Structure formats: C-alpha cells, structure tokens
Structure 1
Amino acid sequence: MRYALRWLVSLIFVVQMYAAMAVLALVFTPLAIFSRAWVYRAVHSYCRWVRWTARWMVGLRSEVRGTPPTEEVLIAAKHQSFFDIILIVSAVPKPKFIMKSSLRYAPILGWYALRLGCVAVDRGRRAEAIRQMQRGVLDGTAPAGQLIIYPQGTRVAPGAHIPYKVGISVLYRETGQTVVPAATNVGVFWPRTGIYRKPGLAVVEFLDPIPPGLPQRDLLTRLEREIEGRSDALMREAGFDPDTAGSEGAAR
C-alpha cells in the first residue's frame, strides 16, 4: 500500500513536471525569440521548479557540490537520469549539450535546445557522430558556454559498467579547452526509466578541472577513474552499493 501511494505521488510529480515545461516554455518563448538571455532564464527557472517540486512532492532533495564552471569549458558528466541534467543545468550559466539528432524535432524542447547552442549528432555510426560533433562545436555558430558531454553516450543505471567513448577526448584535443568531470548518484533515487521516485539526497559533484594538453588516451583513463570512483562513493553515501548491483544496470 505504501509503495502504491508513493508511486501515485511520483506519477503526479512527473505529470506536473512536464506540464510545467510546456507552460514555462510558452511564457518565455516570446522573449527568448529575441534574446538568448531569456532562453537561459527559461531553462534555469524550469530547473529550479523541478528541484523544488521534487523536494516537497516526493522527498527528493538535491545538492550541487564542488565548483560549477562559469567559463567556456567541456563538462564530462556521469549520466544516470533526467535529474542529473536538471542539476547540472541549474548550476552553470550557459549550458549546452551534445544531443541526439532526433531531439531537434521535439516540440518546443528542440527549439530551445538549438537556441542554447546544443549540437545534434546521429549516434548510430560512431565515426560520423564524431565528425558531426567536431563540425558542430568548431564551426563558430554556437554561443560560448559550458558544453555538457556524457562520455558513456547514454544513461547508465547504478552499478552498470559502460566503457567511455572517444568523442570527449577528440573535442578536448580539437578545442584546447579544460574538461571538468562531474559525478552523480541521482540514479539511486530517480531511475533512467519508470515513474517511481525515491526520497533522499541526490548529488551532482563537479570535480577538479583537467587542463588542456593530456594525450587523448590519458584523458579517457583519468575521466573514467575519477568520475566512476566518485560516483560510486556518492552512491554508497546514498545507501547503494554499486559493487553488488549485479548486471541489472544495462544502459538504455
């Protein structure tokens, strides 16, 4: 009975979350058409709304640790669910993403993503996806900001082990920008699929920046070691042991 009640509350939370996305998008769009500053205000307002409603509706508190970057950098982030996107975007001033090409056609969301300067890639063929990332990032049309990249390429459930892809190291080499790793435990409370949300403390933590100049292989090794190690520690802090999770967490 208790589970059923919490599932129902979670469903109400999810419904209002997407309703709020539509309402805020419509409210901000007339201004966002003329000024990108209003696009950032829109997405930051939405992230604050989701964090606030998650806290009082389902008991899911959230915290951003470390120092969020404000300059033009690459953010290499662990990705477990939609909520880690919310936390990172709420913390940086000018977020943008490497995103699936199909999201360009999503109503409202796709338009906002393009206004943020998100780079759309087709994930089916790795070599072509990397070329698309390079062109999209280096062609000079996207606004400066914090480019958020998920090195594993998808949402990964707690306890799952998915190798890091080379795209982040290619952009690191080509842009000459600093990389800021980001760890998280949000998947313990907000799964990559499904409705049910658990109470607790969801954390995204920005780790020490990695300056330009490392060989690509060394960068990938360091990112995986630091992001996975710190994410595992945050999950243990939340009461979840990633070492005993088994094979449940296959990536979507």
Structure 2
Amino acid sequence: MNALRSLLFALFFYPGTTVAVLLAFPAAFVGERPLRWVVHGWARWHRWCAALLLGVRTRLEGVLPNAPVIVAAKHESMFETIEMLLLFEHPAVVMKRELADLPGWGWVARRYGVIPVDREGGAVALRRMLKASQAVLAKGRPIVIFPEGTRVPPGERRPLQPGFAGLYRALGVPVVPLALDSGRLWPRDRFAKRPGIVTMKVGETIPTGLPRGEMESRVHEAINALQP
C-alpha cells in the first residue's frame, strides 16, 4: 500500500512541478511577487499531495518568527525543504551551489532569493554567502539553513558545518533551532513513504554574541531534540 501511495504521489506531484517551473520563468521576469505566488503555489501543491496521497502531514510545535533571523533546521528528507516555504512568508533557503547552478531552474531559484553555498570554495565562497545573506536580512526575511549540511538518517547526528558558525558571527542575528523527524516517514534512500505526522519543534531562541562552542552545542542539541 505504501508503495502504491508513493507511486500516486510521484504521478501527481512531479507533473505539477513541471507546470510550476514553466510558470516560474515568466513570473521571474515580471517581478518578485508573481514569482512568490508561483513558488508558494508549488509548495501548497506538494503539501496537498503529501497529505492526501501519502497521508503525511505536519505538526508544528511552537512559533516560527517571520523576522530577520537564522533558522537552523534538522534535515532528514526532501519533505522539509519544500514545507519550509510555507512555514514562513518569504524565506531564503541556503542550498548547495550545484542546485543553484542548474540550467533554468537555478536562475529561477536565485531570482526567488535562495543563498547558494560552495562547501569547497573556502573564504571566497563564505564572503559571497555573507553578502547574499546580508541582502536577505535587510529585506526582513528569515534565512533557513540545514547546519549539518546534508540529509541525516533518523537517530544520527552529524557535526555542524564550519560555515554555520561564520554566518552566525558575521550576521549578528539570533538563531532559531528547529527539530524535526521527517525521516521516519520519508526515508532518504527509499521510494516508499509511510503515512503519519511529521513533528517540527521550535527550540529556544539562541541570542547573538555567544562563544562558538556554546552556540554550536546549543544548536546541535536543539535540532536533535526529536531524535530517538
């Protein structure tokens, strides 16, 4: 049954995604607001398909601010990368440069305001990321980052990427941790998904100016609060 549900999800969601991408190109030329409508419509389509075809829904515990902060989230599946677009009014998601460089789609993503990160680019890449992040915060938008750097199976913890501490220090804004457990239902290496509730738990806001070790320890514990 789960395999059949997942097949139906693929048959509905991915053609809808193709339509959204085609609509995003002219919307991106018109301006930021039309592009936001298309992106949010696509994210709502994903939520609808996940809920009705897979039986996967979200429960948010706590309140996420629509403010210029860094939201540091656990990353276990594709599910939350799209769901994040609906948890905020206009978030800027930090993503791998390889995705932001994809022909066509990458241009649209950059127009929407994603923040590309080059993990192998060293200091130059960090400066570019900081510049893009500062521009986003100046517009009052939150930055969503997955500080462990990749999707992590349930029950595992990965060290935080070094660029995250640099971002925290340079931007001087609070960090809001977000724990989640999507990997239980949406495994990263399996086609079949299981129905259930993905819990997202907002942690205590971490203020600016903390020593790196303390900040990283608090973020790491908070984003892993729902791990078995």
Of 105, 111, 114, which aligns to 2:110? 114
| Helix, strand or coil at the partner of 2:100 | helix
Within 5 Å, give how 1:66-77 maps onto structure 2.
66-77=62-73
Query: Quick check: 207-216 or 50-59, which moved more?
Result: 207-216
Partner of 2:87: 91
| Helix, strand or coil at the partner of 2:60 | strand
Displacement, 1:50?
1.1
Of 10, 17, 22, which aligns to 2:18? 22
Structure 1 position 55 matched with structure 2 position 55: no
In structure 2, give the amino acid aligned to 1:168: F
| Helix, strand or coil at the partner of 1:231 | coil
Q: 1:108 to 1:206 in 2, by over 3 A?
A: farther
Aligned length: 227
Partner of 2:166: 170
| Helix, strand or coil at the partner of 2:177 | strand
Of 194, 202, 216, which aligns to 1:198? 194
Structure 1 position 82 matched with structure 2 position 74: no
Q: Deviations over 1:88-146 (max 9, x none)?
A: 221101111221111123354312320122222222355555344234324x4887311
Query: Quick check: 200-209 or 151-160, which moved more?
Result: 200-209
Q: Distance in 2 between matches of 1:162 and 1:213?
A: 24
Q: Distance in 2 between matches of 1:110 and 1:127?
A: 23
Q: Distance in 2 between matches of 1:65 and 1:32?
A: 34
Q: Distance in 1 between matches of 2:173 and 2:122?
A: 22
Asked if 1 retains the 8 angstrom alpha-carbon contact of 2:92 and 2:136, the reply is: no
Partner of 2:28: 32
How high is the TM-score relative to the length of structure 2? 0.89
Structure 1 position 220 matched with structure 2 position 211: no
Q: Distance in 2 between matches of 1:14 and 1:124?
A: 33
Q: Distance in 2 between matches of 1:94 and 1:83?
A: 18
How high is the TM-score relative to the length of structure 1? 0.82
Asked if 1 retains the 8 angstrom alpha-carbon contact of 2:94 and 2:144, the reply is: yes
Asked if 2 retains the 8 angstrom alpha-carbon contact of 1:87 and 1:204, the reply is: no
Q: Distance in 2 between matches of 1:105 and 1:15?
A: 26
Percent of matched pairs sharing the same residue: 34
Which runs of no fewer than 5 residues in structure 1 stay unpaired?
233-241, 243-252
Q: 1:176 to 1:86 in 2, by over 3 A?
A: same
Asked if 2 retains the 8 angstrom alpha-carbon contact of 1:117 and 1:142, the reply is: no
Which runs of no fewer than 5 residues in structure 2 stay unpaired?
none
Asked if 2 retains the 8 angstrom alpha-carbon contact of 1:119 and 1:137, the reply is: yes
| Helix, strand or coil at the partner of 2:220 | helix
Within 5 Å, give how 1:171-190 maps onto structure 2.
171-190=167-186
| Helix, strand or coil at the partner of 1:194 | coil
| Helix, strand or coil at the partner of 1:80 | coil
Q: Alignment RMSD, CA only?
A: 2.1
Q: Deviations over 1:23-48 (max 9, x none)?
A: 12323432332221222222221121
